[in-house]
Structure 1
Amino acid sequence: MRRLVLAAAAAFLSCATAVAQEARIGVAARLTSLDPHFHNAGENNAMAFHFFDPLVGTDAHQRPVPALAESWRAVEPTVWEFVLREGVTFHDGTPLTTTDVAFSVARLPEVPRSPASFAHYVRPITRVEVVDDRRIRFHTAEPFPLLPTYLSVFGIVSRRHGEGAQTSDYNAGRAMIGTGPYRFEAYVPNERITMVRNSDYWGPVEPWARVNFRVIANDSARLAALLADDVDLISNPPPVDVERLSRDARFRVARAPASSVYYIHLDRHRAVSPFFTDNAGQPLPTNPLNDVRVRRAMSMALNREALVSRIMGGLGEPAAQLQSSGFFGTSPDIGVERYDPEGAKRLLAEAGYPDGFIMTMHGPNDRYPNVDRMLQAIAQMFTRAGITTRLETMPSTVLFPRSANLEYSVVYLGAANFTGEASGLLNALLATWDRASGAGSTNRGRYSNPELDDLLRRAVTTMDDAARERTLVQAHEVGIRDVGLIPVMFPVNVWITQRRMTYQPHAEARTYAMQLRPAP
């Protein structure tokens, strides 16, 4: 459970009794694995934090708060010391020690075939020093002020059960031994996950004796399950139904602005890209996305206001950059690209495509609210601006590994801001891909800009907050003005519960049983 705001949890418990009950939750997204270190994706991480606590938690504003570590401090500019809380045990009864933390940090970069690795979050660490069972020190080559934030992104696993374990051992339940508020019971891929309350949990006691997560990818089917009282909570209801349900006395609606962004990755690593043809169907001899005028034309072709209002029912915000205004490192000087299909056509003509061209855009059909309608609308907008767009969608479990293999030219994806400030998304999505450092871990277009890389490196080693933010703003401006990718929108997350329940949402679009409580 990443958001360990103990005061909020205690407030929830004041109106709930720890009686034996089952919580039934319907979620949209399929997991790619139960291994907490396999795939850095929002839904995977949300599930993992039921079983595996992080070293550092975050509050509703994504600021670090104590979790498995009760305290931390920079003992030197390049040395951070963390102290574990006493009395924490794994689900098998063995005590948590710093050797488990050291093992988890070492394991992250070594997980094979990860579609989106966590390695970036531990790359700044050059040496791990186990001082004793409760104190551990992380050495970095340079000052790294974001280390507590980075250590909040992943769960700590048991060395005893994790040594020699593969991702398949987690999926089978054999290695699912954490310190979290729930214990693993069963997993049927793409169907359900069941868990039982950890009565020895170090934090607040959960009211649910058992939690049953059901994967219901279809929006209408998920809503139907709620209406039939087959589930107590659903995530991502169809946007068109949210207003109606908010007036229905049988339900409660919870909303939270997201810290996620939906965006379009653009192939920048190939001289010839596979999903572009001329209007006669012949492959284009060069990759049109290598011309900034084409990339800019594509951004101008999008009517973001219409996408939010008509497709998402107002449950969103047009995106100008990688995070919405107010987050640390967002530029005040970058506005939402003006919708201008005629201007887009002029730019295409300047770039040598007066008659446009044909492209195929890929995207998920099960990941985000109203994603099918969203992709169809985007394809129509590109076509209206002169780029005839064909659409191919597939389950996210297929799309993610294929996009990680760089099989696509244009792909629609989403990303969560795990760190609450700009460096995390900039490093993952726009930094030059580098396996050794973990930079560009989800840079599916292989965009590369040395100026952005340099600014980002300077920012993450700057201890002064004001100076670091100025540098991050500059990096943000470089990547967006060069159209390294195309931001589309920031979603508003919605959950709906039966009236007998309450749900306290957070900004990350994750669904936690820990946020669901019986109504007072």
Structure 2
Amino acid sequence: MRNRMMFAFVAGTCLLSAPAWAQSLRIALSSEPTAVDPHYHDLTPNNALAAHIFEGLTKQDEKQKLHPGLATSWENDGKTKWTFKLRQGVTFSNGKPFTADDVIFTFCRTLKNETAIAGSFADITGNFASVEAPDSQTVVITTKTPDPLLPNFLSSVGILSASIVAHDKLTFDPAKNCGVTGNWPVVGDFNDGKLAIGTGPYKLKSYVKGTGIELERNETYWGPAEPWASVRFVPVPNAGPRLAGLLAGDYDVIENPAARDLGRIKDDKRFGYVITPSTRVIYFQLDVERDQSPFVKSEDGKNPLKDPRVRKAMSLAIDRDAIVKRIMDGAAEPANQFLPTGMFGTLPNPPKLAYDPAEAKKLLKEAGYPNGFQVTLSTTNDRYINDSQIAQAVAQYLTQIGIRADVDAMTRAIYFPRRSKKEFSVALGGWGSTSGEASSFLRQWPATPDEAKTIGGSNYGGYSDPEFDKLIRAAITTLDDAKRSELLQQAGARVLESNAFIPLHFESTVWAYKANLTYAGRTDQFTMAMSVKPAK
């Protein structure tokens, strides 16, 4: 009897001493994922959510250092052939084993995804000449051109279970449907949970746009078990309500409290916070292609944005230091190139992008626009930190040099599809380097699009420079690091000189949380339940 009582006491004590294992985690997001589908849109909130449910062959830690994921090792033959050895003993959340067939199916799906925004992830797999499976635990990828960063890029491609579609023998042959005999999955199939089947540490319980996302722990996950039985993400676009919710105990973790409010958190022992510099550059992309641009009006009826002197004037009109200080409350760094100085392929000593309104007016006069012109700045109001306020500030700076600027702010659900259709003249953008080097921005935005869309997938402004294209094409296929870095520096310098893309600043990301928790801030700006741990 005494032994049975002692067992009951010990068991009860264990349950009481480990409440975190039965606890729910509540996270307030400043920017809501637009889909559960891991291939729908290559967007930070979407990729962060997908990483809870799906996994890539590789993965990146909070400092973007590469680690094994669903592949335990990989090697390159010095040319175009990559061999990945897959992790054994992994199952999907529906109980199906993970094999090479799932990898082949996933890569095919990125190229057969009719609901993808701007060809997301096809820029990676579009360079694949072949994908073969010598056995169930080996995948051999041969690329059309050398791709030195392929393992880095594959960290963002979530692997799907081939069991979600009807198929015969799977082969990497998109022209012949890869062996798939049923319908290819579309975004709605994932949002309703039907096909949200992955190998990650969590499973989707529900996704209700505008209301919240609920996850539950995947009890069959191959890796260490997560401390949270359930996770709820709640979209709260405004910083004030997010902070109020944290202070009231409604949330355990919040994204991006206003920097001006950090003093309140710092002085309250119930909470903690972390500020992490990111690689995300905020910039404007200009329509430099069309003779008549939809949101530009000038006296001569032309598109002034095609003139490099006008674009230079617009850059000179912007006081980046003031934006960082007043709009970003110091939680950012002025950007003088497209990736923070010191990272791979950046200019070692970039010239500071000057604030010189007098010179800007002079350039406008030289370009034939002494009276300026009218332009609309298009922006999101729920994606980047203070995005619409930044656009308003830039509009005021442009107005001071004679460019009459208005702002059209909209939700990203409307903004991104319109931008991909080239409906804007001057569009705010943000880009974080997934590879940790300068090629990430340069190959995606300024490059002239190729037929396979492996480069230039987001070139909505029509920038095209044959010399730049020559440099970036050479850089992304050069395996020698020193040579690749030199090519990237040259390419980056040409884009900066063109002012077709006007960089503003690099975001820093802030997370605040209850004091009984810890959070590992991430340079990729992902908000991850896996980064939240009970404080010791």
| TMscore range, shorter length | over 0.9
Aligned pairs for 1:201-240 (under 5 A) are 201-240=221-260
Segment drifting more, 322-331 vs 372-381: 372-381
- Alpha carbons of structure 1 residues 76 and 360: separation in structure 2 relative to 1, 3 Å: closer
Match of 2:148 in 1: 145
Larger radius of gyration: 2
Secondary structure in 1 matching 2:156: coil
Aligned residue number for residue 157 of structure 1 = 160
- State the identity %: 42
Paired position in structure 1 for 2:385: 369
C-alpha contact (below 8 Å) 2:96/2:163 kept by paired residues: no
Aligned to 1:68: 70
Residue 38 of structure 1 aligns to a residue in which SS? Answer: coil
Matched with 2:40 is 38
SS in 1 for 2:88: coil
Q: 1:319 to 1:16 in 2, by over 3 A?
A: farther
Distance 2:409 2:401 in 1: 22
8 A contact 1:122–1:150 mirrored in 2: no
Structure 1: segments with no counterpart, 5+ residues: 1-14
Corresponding residue of 1:298? 314
Give the Cα separation in 1 of the matches to 2:41 and 2:145: 27
Displacement of 1:32: 2.0
Conserved? CA contact 1:452–1:475, under 8 Å: yes
SS in 2 for 1:151: helix
AA aligned opposite 2:135: D
Corresponding residue of 1:6: none
Shift of 1:338: 0.5
Residue equivalent to 2:59: 57
Name the structure 2 match of 1:5.
Answer: none
- 1:60-94: per-residue Cα shift (whole Å, max 9, x none)? 33232101000000135221100011111100111
State yes or no: 1:175 paired with 2:175.
no
After TM superposition, the score normalised by the length of structure 2 is 0.91
Structure 1 position 316 matched with structure 2 position 332: yes
Counterpart of 2:401 in structure 1 is 385
Aligned-partner Cα distance in 2 for 1:248–1:443: 46
Residue 130 of structure 2 aligns to a residue whose secondary structure is strand
Q: CA deviation at 1:122?
A: 1.7
Separation in structure 1 between the aligned mates of residue 420 and residue 282 of structure 2, nearest angstrom: 17
**Alignment pair present for 1:119 and 2:122:** yes
Q: Structure 1 counterpart of 2:91, which letter?
A: T
Q: Which residue of 2 aligns with 1:402?
A: 418
Give 1:86-485 correspondences, 5 Å limit. Answer: 86-116=88-118, 117-162=120-165, 164=183, 165-278=185-298, 285-485=301-501
Deviations 1:12-68 (A, max 9, x none): xxx988611100000011222111001000000000000001111123332321010
Choose 209-218 or 106-115, whichever is displaced more: 106-115
* Root-mean-square deviation (Å): 1.6
Change (3 A) 1:65 1:16: farther
Deviation larger for 362-371 or 396-405: 362-371
In structure 1, the partner of 2:7 is none
CA distance in 1, matches of 2:144, 2:124: 14
Q: Which consecutive residues of structure 2, in runs of 5 or more, have no partner in the other structure? A: 1-16, 167-182
C-alpha deviation, 1:242, in angstroms: 2.1
The separation in 2 between residues aligned to 1:47 and 1:77, in whole angstroms, is 34
Equivalent residue for 2:24?
A: 22
In 2, the alpha carbon distance for the partners of 1:267 and 1:432 equals: 14
How far residue 104 of structure 1 moved from its aligned partner, in angstroms, is 0.8
SS at match of 1:209: strand
CA distance in 2, matches of 1:338, 1:293: 15
- Which of the residues 65, 71, 83 maps onto 1:81? 83
Secondary structure of residue in 2 paired with 1:243: helix
> Deviation at 1:519?
1.4
The 3-state SS of whatever aligns with 2:77 is strand
Structure 1 residue 385: deviation in Å?
1.8
8 Å Cα contact 2:242/2:257 also seen in 1: yes
Give the CA deviation at 1:484: 2.4
Residue 440 (structure 1) shift: 1.3
Count matched residues: 502
How far has the Cα of 1:435 moved from its partner? 4.5
